[in-house]
């Protein structure tokens, strides 16, 4: 015997801090509650932004994307989605922190 009781050992599925590990369903729910709303808001944000600012007027489009409007729309959408997802993730984490 090593001096530890059977119940003192960490259970399978526990994180290093001793808390139960997140189950796949919980991680999937987190991803959908963060990624889906941010996707839905990124679409109109990019539409409004590029309605006001033509892609050709942006220096990054001229310098790095060779004037490609599709590239500008894609890059703008991805940047908006990532920024909004970060905001949604922070909100989710702060609202669902352990008590």
Residue 60 belongs to what domain range? Answer: 39-99
Q: In terms of C-beta density within 10 A (0-12 exposed, 13-18 middle, 19 or more buried), how is residue 23 classed? A: exposed
Residue 44 lies in a domain: yes
Residue 56 lies in a domain: yes
Residue 26 lies in a domain: no
Chain segment 11-47, per-residue pLDDT in tens: 555 566 666 666 677 888 888 999 999 999 999 999 9
Chain segment 63-88, per-residue pLDDT in tens: 888 888 999 999 999 999 999 999 99
Residue 9 lies in a domain: no
Q: Which of these, 50, 55, 54, lies nearest to 71 by C-alpha position?
A: 55
Residue 51 lies in a domain: yes
Q: In terms of C-beta density within 10 A (0-12 exposed, 13-18 middle, 19 or more buried), how is residue 68 classed? A: middle
The tally of domains found in the chain comes to: 1
């Amino acid at each position: 015997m090593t001096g530890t009781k059977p119940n003192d050992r960490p259970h399978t599925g526990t994180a290093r801090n001793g808390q139960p590990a997140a189950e796949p369903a919980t991680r999937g729910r987190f991803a959908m509650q963060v990624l889906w709303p941010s996707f839905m808001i990124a679409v109109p944000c990019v539409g409004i932004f590029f309605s006001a600012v033509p892609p050709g007027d942006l220096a990054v489009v001229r310098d790095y994307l060779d004037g490609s409007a599709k590239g500008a729309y894609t890059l703008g959408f991805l940047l908006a989605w990532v920024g909004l997802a970060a905001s949604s993730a922070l909100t989710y984490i702060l609202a669902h922190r352990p008590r």
